[in-house]
Chain A
């Protein structure tokens, strides 16, 4: 109860009050244990120089830890291999799986998506022994873990690109310039970040068929937002782009599993998405011959004339709209005429059957003889 009061306060003030809170904590043993750790680790600037010459910061801000989701945990709950002070060996990296497993007794959340990490591209890299493979702490932080909904969290929507960008530098730079990245910087809540397209714990290689960014699935991923009129009209983007793509030969081929056909990212790219008017855009009319030319060798400026996402049912499609309308009228009128003719023919036949006085055959026969 008391601790929640600190949240809105400045960090310094909280730090002073923390000591007081500590004194009234009714768990003297736990406090004592943590106080033992904080004797050294609570000092700002506490660090160690590794044999490699790299300095390892060992200061732990106790305030931040107490604000995190792990506020009730002791240091040694996670750093279980620490039994002596000073530590005879460098303590191991914390294994979150100690608590976060299905059916744990301490009530640590454990959902299917944590297990998905094991089959993800990151989890597989870890299993293969890649030292750079990210583990839980790399994305979620160490002592200051907060729920994703918390604005200060490393995995909060607006912080995700930065978190992923910690390793994926080049793509982070591309993304930040793109229309999605710029929107996020401007504080647009709908702006997609890395995880909206790639997933969170189940991130897979694009080559993987079940990946959300596989050529076979990426259309569905983009259309999660781009087919929604409610979202799209806010930003002046047409939601029918998804439908027109699905009606195009590219979309139909993609639907039937012909993955060499262009999908959204083939033309708009994955991370360097810009509005059509932007000269950096791959779908800018100046760049279209090059973009189409990737698959249609020899494409010239004519490819940029008119719209790619054409809706023949819309008047803005120009002549194509009239062609479509013309065929509609032609088809309906032709079929109506033919069906009426058939109906009349059947009507006459059944009527003749009822009155079998078929004169005309006799007459014809007479004439011909």
Chain B
């Protein structure tokens, strides 16, 4: 990267002093080997021949060997550099970011994501069955019998994560707090209007968002609506005999239509809206990794969720003062490490 001073073979002392020393050591080790192998010596002509062969082979071996060693050395060096770079990035990540999404929330998102992808790839080919790609996907996955089962596995996963989420929103302190913050409020309308004004150049400032902007609230409640529609209609279709016997064929017909249409709407909303907000948006491209490590860069935090950021900063300051007040206060990690092993510091950067 930076213009370091590079040493070439001509500049090194190799050609002069090192060579002489190496040659001396080499000749000593060769004479040792000869002495050990041929304690009685050899007649003059044979000895001459041996000497010639020995030198030829040594020359060849040494050229090859030195090249191998150089390459090995370079590979190792590169790996080391990469490792250091990774460590540096990790350190930056941990030092300059905050854990905003808890492990529990990330796990819920992961299961939801997996199930949704599974449901989409096994479900959409049924809606668009005339498309050549539909048949390709169905047969790639092992035929309609297999995709049927896969779709139902996805359905069970989705139901379970949905039920768990309801429980999480009621039974967990974290869940209750977040759910409260996710409830729509008049402030969202105000923020939305402000945002529109900002987009159109009518307002100078962007709205100040709390933990969840109206964009994120929309995402959340869209999933809520989608889950209710998809799960209800899905189980009517799954247990259609019972459903028709109990509620009439019209229940099945409505479920069929709703499942198909809401499936497409949800897919499009994910691909267009959610992917734009977390992947394709120029600021996030090619994608934020918050869903994986739960962390958000402080810079981004301050910009996108200023109200939450302020609260967080307040809490940090309070914590610090509390720590300082303690007599032999060990300064805790001000960022609160999220259960991941601490990056080794000091060595690099």
Bound pair: A and B?
Answer: yes
B244 A303 Cβ-Cβ under 8 A: yes
B199 at the interface (CB under 8 A from A): yes
B143 at the interface (CB under 8 A from A): yes
* Chain B binding surface, main DSSP class: helix
B291 at the interface (CB under 8 A from A): no
Q: A252-B126, A302-B249, A323-B254 are known contacts. Are A368 and B261 too (CB-CB below 8 A)?
A: no
Q: Which of B41-49, B263-271, B329-337 contacts A (4 or more CB under 8 A)?
A: B263-271
Q: Which of B58-66, B88-96, B276-284 contacts A (4 or more CB under 8 A)?
A: B276-284
Chain A nearest CB: distance from B293 CB in Å? 24
A134 contacts which chain B residues (CB < 8 A)? none
Over the window 300-319 of chain A, the binary record of Cβ atoms lying under 8 Å from chain B Cβ atoms (1 yes, 0 no) is: 10111110001010000111
A347 B199 Cβ-Cβ under 8 A: yes
A310 to B250, CA, bound (A): 10
Q: Which of A98-106, A176-184, A335-343 contacts B (4 or more CB under 8 A)?
A: A335-343
Q: A255-B129, A323-B257 are known contacts. Are A348 and B198 too (CB-CB below 8 A)?
A: yes
A354 at the interface (CB under 8 A from B): no
B235 at the interface (CB under 8 A from A): no
A327 at the interface (CB under 8 A from B): yes
B324 at the interface (CB under 8 A from A): no
A257 contacts which chain B residues (CB < 8 A)? 143-144
B199 contacts which chain A residues (CB < 8 A)? 344-345, 347-348
Q: A319-B250, A327-B257, A327-B258 are known contacts. Are A297 and B272 too (CB-CB below 8 A)?
A: no
Q: Of the candidates B135, B205, B261, which one forms a contact with A327 in the assembled complex, judged by CB atoms under 8 Å apart?
A: B261
Within 8 A of A (CB), among B273-323: 273, 276, 281-283, 302-303, 306, 309-310, 313
B244 A299 Cβ-Cβ under 8 A: yes
Chain B nearest CB: distance from A64 CB in Å? 53
A16 to B135, CA, bound (A): 68
A346 at the interface (CB under 8 A from B): yes
A298 B241 Cβ-Cβ under 8 A: yes
A359 at the interface (CB under 8 A from B): yes
Chain B nearest CB: distance from A178 CB in Å? 26
A318 to B268, CA, bound (A): 27
B208 at the interface (CB under 8 A from A): yes
A186 at the interface (CB under 8 A from B): no
Closest partner residue, chain B, to A260 (CB atom): B145
A364 B208 Cβ-Cβ under 8 A: yes
A255 contacts which chain B residues (CB < 8 A)? 129, 135
A361 B126 Cβ-Cβ under 8 A: no
Q: Of the candidates A339, A347, A367, which one forms a contact with B272 in the assembled complex, judged by CB atoms under 8 Å apart?
A: A339
A367 to B245, CA, bound (A): 63
A93 at the interface (CB under 8 A from B): no
A338 B262 Cβ-Cβ under 8 A: no
Q: Of the candidates B135, B261, B265, B273, which one forms a contact with A256 in the assembled complex, judged by CB atoms under 8 Å apart?
A: B135
B129 A331 Cβ-Cβ under 8 A: no
A256 contacts which chain B residues (CB < 8 A)? 129, 135, 138-139, 143-144
B281 A345 Cβ-Cβ under 8 A: yes
Q: A300-B245, A320-B257, A339-B272 are known contacts. Are A364 and B250 too (CB-CB below 8 A)?
A: no
Q: A342-B276, A344-B196, A346-B282 are known contacts. Are A368 and B257 too (CB-CB below 8 A)?
A: no
A258 at the interface (CB under 8 A from B): yes
Chain A nearest CB: distance from B48 CB in Å? 79
A368 B249 Cβ-Cβ under 8 A: no
A334 at the interface (CB under 8 A from B): yes
Among B144, B244, B302, B303, max chain A CB count under 10 A is at B244
A365 at the interface (CB under 8 A from B): yes
A331 to B272, CA, bound (A): 12
Over the window 76-114 of chain A, the binary record of Cβ atoms lying under 8 Å from chain B Cβ atoms (1 yes, 0 no) is: 000000000000000000000000000000000000000
B217 at the interface (CB under 8 A from A): no
B143 A306 Cβ-Cβ under 8 A: no
A338 B303 Cβ-Cβ under 8 A: no
Closest partner residue, chain A, to B245 (CB atom): A300
Chain A nearest CB: distance from B288 CB in Å? 16
Q: Of the candidates A258, A298, A306, A351, which one forms a contact with B248 in the assembled complex, judged by CB atoms under 8 Å apart?
A: A306
Chain B nearest CB: distance from A168 CB in Å? 34
A347 to B204, CA, bound (A): 15
Closest partner residue, chain A, to B204 (CB atom): A359
A330 to B268, CA, bound (A): 12
Closest partner residue, chain B, to A255 (CB atom): B129
B206 at the interface (CB under 8 A from A): yes
Closest partner residue, chain B, to A312 (CB atom): B257
Within 8 A of A (CB), among B202-261: 204-206, 208, 237, 240-241, 244-250, 253-254, 256-258, 261
A368 B310 Cβ-Cβ under 8 A: yes
A331 B268 Cβ-Cβ under 8 A: yes
Q: A334-B269, A344-B200 are known contacts. Are A364 and B264 too (CB-CB below 8 A)?
A: no
B257 A306 Cβ-Cβ under 8 A: no
Q: A328-B261, A365-B302 are known contacts. Are A349 and B283 too (CB-CB below 8 A)?
A: yes
A369 to B258, CA, bound (A): 50
Within 8 A of A (CB), among B108-151: 126, 129, 135, 138-139, 143-145
A positions within 8 Å CB-CB of B:
249, 252-253, 255-258, 296-300, 302-306, 310, 312, 317-320, 323-324, 327-328, 330-331, 334-335, 338-339, 342, 344-349, 351, 359-361, 363-365, 367-368
B positions within 8 Å CB-CB of A:
126, 129, 135, 138-139, 143-145, 196, 198-201, 204-206, 208, 237, 240-241, 244-250, 253-254, 256-258, 261-262, 264-265, 268-269, 272-273, 276, 281-283, 302-303, 306, 309-310, 313
A–B complex contacts, Cβ < 8 Å, 5 sampled: A249-B126, A256-B135, A323-B257, A359-B204, A364-B306
